[in-house]
Amino acid sequence: MFCLYPFLVLVAMSSSLAADETAFAVPDSIITNASFSTINYHDRLLAFPLWPDQPPGSATIQNNIEHIYNRTTQQNPFGLNRAVENVTRSSVFVFPVKSDSPTPAVIIFPGGAFLKITIDKEGIDIAQWLNRCGITSIVVKYRTVPSPEQHSWNYRDSNPLYDAFYADARQAIRIIRSRSAELNIDPDKIGVMGFSAGGRLAANLLADQSGDNGPDQGAVDPASHKINFGSLIYPVIIDTLIRQISHATPPTFIVNCRDDKSAPVKDAEKFYDTLIKNGIESEAHIFETGGHGFGLGVDGGMVTQWPIRFTNWLMRIGIFEVARDTTYTLQSAYQKYRKLYPFIKPVRYDTLDGSLQQTGIIYSPATSSRPLALDIFSTANDMEASQPAVILVHGGGRSSGDRRLIYPLADYLAKHGDVAPPPEYRLAPEA
């Protein structure tokens, strides 16, 4: 599926990760010290070095002093948007999910042009959102370029510096696979997500699924860097990666913007087109505006929709399922939606009639055997005032479907002055 959004409508957003009690700020000391020792942070985070000894390619990475600093823009609710420079010893940060059964996992490669690791906006914040979706998340702090003067080398093939970065990426997959039972991860549902330069690493992993071609893995299975799905968010793509795509490439989800000056959208489109030509189940969302480096999209615009579309895509390809609740109310369903997407500022939703647990209007056609609900999403302070209305009718065939699936769209329309009622309607009996 290839989706194009040719316009921008600003959406009031809040990066309210703190609105969910499961979110927490990771201390600077853990981000730094995980390069040297294993750290268990209150059973909410497990951090450890990526390599047991000196990593391959160490001679090409100068042993500079690692530096972490906070930036004043695009901060999360904890006031953080940190970056890490001079990374010479790589590490991983595992955000586990409490579950009785193995969970899917997403290994995250933040961006930063290989000069730095954007550890919060494209790492920790992403991981904690995915945790709320029931996905174990792993943030990789891979090695970075030793000095800005060498930055122009980063995206070339067969470059010693890039080889070191990519060795870290492969090792991250191997080490998580080797510990999947310990971490309660389903080994058949391990994917990657890369942002910007991290998208280059993720794209490389997606295209390189024929086996291992890297250096010593430190007693880890050399063939285990294979992955089951991938997502590329404003990725840096080069032609050699596109030429490596084959029938073995896993399903891929892509997000980019037309006005991205750092990662040209044409490269993402070529990557997607080649996936489709090879019969790979993939989905691309190309937004007209949004620029580069938007993370979860908390600054507004249509790009705020990509996390919702990503989780829907994961459901479509069978990575996880949402249990169907036959006793739901509007409030409970809306709360579930808000838990998955806490960074979206909710609108007020109104009840015009309290007959069905305060969930909406009850209407009963003459041929209906039971009351049917009509939920109302609106930002109006005065429900008697005239407003445009958009009636949202869900799909799902003649005998199935669930109007809760279009609550996000109803929420979006209500933000822009419409009354948006997604009605329940009668379904044909299943055969």
- Would you tell me how many other CB atoms lie within 10 Å of the CB of residue 220? 19
Per-residue pLDDT of the chain (431 residues; tens, 9 = 90+): 544 433 222 222 233 343 455 789 999 999 999 888 999 998 899 999 999 887 877 666 766 789 999 999 989 989 999 999 999 889 999 999 999 999 999 999 999 999 999 999 999 999 999 998 899 999 999 999 877 666 554 455 567 788 889 999 999 999 999 999 999 999 999 999 999 999 999 999 999 876 554 555 555 666 578 899 999 999 999 988 999 999 999 999 999 999 999 999 999 999 999 999 999 999 999 999 889 999 998 666 788 889 988 988 998 899 986 544 444 344 555 555 556 555 544 444 443 333 323 333 444 444 445 556 666 777 655 445 566 777 777 776 554 566 666 777 777 777 767 777 777 766 655 43
- Domain boundaries in the chain? 2-316, 337-415
Q: Please return the burial class of 385, using the count of CB atoms within 10 Å of its CB with bins 0-12, 13-18 and 19+.
A: exposed
Residue 219 has a pLDDT of 52
Residue 124 has a pLDDT of 97
Three-state secondary structure call for residue 426: coil
Residue 209 has a pLDDT of 75
Residue 156 has a pLDDT of 55
β-bridge pairing 116-117 and 229-233? unpaired
Residue 352 has a pLDDT of 36
Q: Which CATH architecture has domain 2-316?
A: 3-Layer(aba) Sandwich (3.40)
Residue 10 has a pLDDT of 25
Residue 327 has a pLDDT of 42
Per residue in 108-139, is it b (16+ CB within 10 Å) or e — as a string?
bbbbbbbbbbbbbbbbbbbbbbbbbbbbbbbb
Closest CA to 159 of 218, 234, 238: 238
